[in-house]
A and B are shown apart, each in its own frame.
Chain A
Amino acid sequence: MNCRKVRKNLVLFLDGELPSSEAEGVQSHLEGCEACREEAELLRSTLSIALERARQKQAPPSLDNFASLFWRKEREQRGKDGLLPVGRLFPSHRRVRVTRYGVASVVALAVIGITIFAVRQGDKRGTPSGTGRSAIEVRKGAVVPPATGNLANIEKQLQELEAAVGRLRVPATSGTSFTGSEMREVYAAIGLAAANNYRNVLDMGDVAAKKYAHVASLFPGTSAGQQAEKMLSHLN
C-alpha cells in the first residue's frame, strides 16, 4: 500500500472502521513509513485534545421542572403562530400548513379543483359540460362560482361545506388553531363533498363510490367518514 492510499484511509483506520484486510495493509505501511506514522499521530492527538476539551465542558444542568415547562412552551407556541402542522392531504399527498382562517378557502379551492377536474373528465366522456369552466374566478381565497352550467351546483355544495367547517369552529378547544381531530373532520368533509359532487353533480357513481370508500377508510370515526360509509353501502 502506498502513502497516498494510506493517508486516504487513515481516519477510518484510526476510528477502527477499516475492514481487517485493509487495516493490516495500513498497519504494516505505518511500521515502515515515518512520515505516515507522524501524520497518524497528529490526527490522533489533535482529536484527543479536542475531545478532552469538549468533555470538560458540561452543559448547565437542565431544570428540574422541564416536563411542565415543555407543556407550557407547547401551549405558548400554539397560541403564538396559530399554525398546526397537518399530515398528508389525500389524495395528492401534499403537505400543507393551514391556519384556522385559511381553512374555508382551502376547502373551497379543493372542491372547486376537484370539480373542475371532474367536469373535464365529464367532457371527455361526452356529458354536458356547461359553459362555466372559464368563468371560475378566485379572489383572495374567495370562490365565485359561475351562474350557469354544471358548475352552478358547486355553490350549494360549497355552502354545505362551509357550514360543516363553521360547525367545527364552534367547540374550539385549542385557542387559535384546530386540533388534530378537528383537522381530520375538515379533511373528511372535503373528501365527502368531493364524493358528493361526483355522485350528485356529475352523475359518476363509480368514481363517487371510490371516493366514499377512500374517505371512510382514511377517516374512520369522523362524522363525514361515517356518512361516507353509509353512502357507500347505499351505492352498493
Chain B
Amino acid sequence: MGKVKAEVDPDFDLVERSRAGDTAAFDELVSRHYERLHALIFRLTDADRCEDLTQEALVLAYRNIDRFRGEAKFSTWLTRIAVNLCRSEWRKRKKQRERRLDDIPREAILERADSNRKNAPKAMMEAEKGERIDHEIAARPPKLRIAFTLRYVEEYSPSEVAAILERKLGTVRSRLFNARQILKVRLRDLLR
C-alpha cells in the first residue's frame, strides 16, 4: 500500500498525533483547512448553512481519523468528506422542495410560471446576468457541477479531482467535457 508520507503530505505529522489522541494537533488541522473547506462548501451549496456543514465535515474527519489510511493526502480525504456532505445536503433540499411543491395548489404554480414568462424579455441588468450565471452553474447535474467547481474554481489538477472523487481520470475528464459543453450552450447568449 503506497502511503502518502511526511515529505508529500504536510499534514502527516499532525494526523499521526491526532490519531494518538492529541486534540491540539487536530486543532491545528482545523485551523489549516477551515477557510479552504468553508469556501468550497459555500461554492457547492450557496448555503446559509455552510458554516455548519464545514464544522460537520471536520467533526466527521475527527471521528473517523482512524480510518484515514494515508493512501491520499489528508487534504484530499477531507475534501472528499466535504463533497459527500454537500451531495447529501442537495438530496435533502431536493426532498424539501418536492414536499413544498406538493403543498402549493397546482393553479398557483401555473400562474407563477405564466408571470415569469411575461417578464422574461426584460433587458437584463448586470445583477440579473450574474444570477443567471449562478443559476446555470447550479442547474447542472451535481456530478458535473462538483467536477467543474473543483477543477476550475478551486483549481485542483484533474488527477487531484480524480483522487477526491475516487473516480478514474478518464471519468473526471469526461465530466469536465460535458460540463463545458453545457456551459457553452447555456451561456452563449450572454456573450452577444
Q: Which residues of A contact B23 (CB under 8 A)?
A: 71
Q: Is the interface of B mostly helix, strand, loop or mixed?
A: helix
> Is A175 close to B, CB under 8 A?
no
Within 170-214 of A, Cβ neighbours of B (below 8 Å) are at 180
- CA distance in complex: A47, B133 (Å): 11
Q: Could you list which residues of chain A lie within 8 angstroms of chain B, going by C-beta atoms?
A: 11-12, 15, 17, 42-43, 45-47, 49-51, 53-57, 59-60, 62-63, 66-67, 69-71, 73-74, 77-78, 84-85, 87, 180
Within 32-58 of B, Cβ neighbours of A (below 8 Å) are at 34-35, 38-39, 42-43, 50-51, 54-56, 58
Closest to A84 in B: B63
- Whether A50 contacts B191 by the Cβ 8 Å rule is no
- Whether A50 contacts B66 by the Cβ 8 Å rule is no
In-complex Cβ contact of A74 among B21, B63, B130, B133 (8 A): B63
Closest to A68 in B: B27
From B2-10, B94-102, B108-116, B180-188, give the one contacting chain A. B180-188
Q: Which residues of B contact A70 (CB under 8 A)?
A: 30, 55, 58-59
- Whether B153 contacts A55 by the Cβ 8 Å rule is yes
- Whether B176 contacts A11 by the Cβ 8 Å rule is yes
- CA distance in complex: A77, B59 (Å): 8
- CA distance in complex: A12, B158 (Å): 10
Closest to B157 in A: A17
- CA distance in complex: A77, B187 (Å): 42
- Whether A87 contacts B152 by the Cβ 8 Å rule is no
- Whether A59 contacts B158 by the Cβ 8 Å rule is no
> Is B62 close to A, CB under 8 A?
yes
> Is B31 close to A, CB under 8 A?
yes
- Whether A56 contacts B180 by the Cβ 8 Å rule is no
- CA distance in complex: A45, B184 (Å): 8
- Whether B43 contacts A46 by the Cβ 8 Å rule is no
User: Given A53-B134, A59-B43, A59-B50, is A46 in contact with B55 using a C-beta cutoff of 8 Å?
Assistant: no
B11: min CB distance to chain A, Å:
16
- Whether B42 contacts A50 by the Cβ 8 Å rule is no
- CA distance in complex: A73, B34 (Å): 14
Closest to B41 in A: A59
- CA distance in complex: A66, B34 (Å): 8
> Is B90 close to A, CB under 8 A?
no
CB-based closest 5 A-B pairs: A59-B42, A53-B133, A46-B187, A73-B55, A59-B39
- Whether B63 contacts A49 by the Cβ 8 Å rule is no
> Is B173 close to A, CB under 8 A?
yes
- CA distance in complex: A50, B149 (Å): 10
- CA distance in complex: A189, B124 (Å): 70
- Whether B43 contacts A57 by the Cβ 8 Å rule is yes
Question: Can you show 6 pairs from A to B with CB atoms below 8 A apart?
Answer: A12-B173, A42-B188, A60-B50, A62-B35, A77-B63, A85-B64
- Whether A54 contacts B137 by the Cβ 8 Å rule is yes
Q: Which residues of A contact B158 (CB under 8 A)?
A: 17
> Is B67 close to A, CB under 8 A?
yes
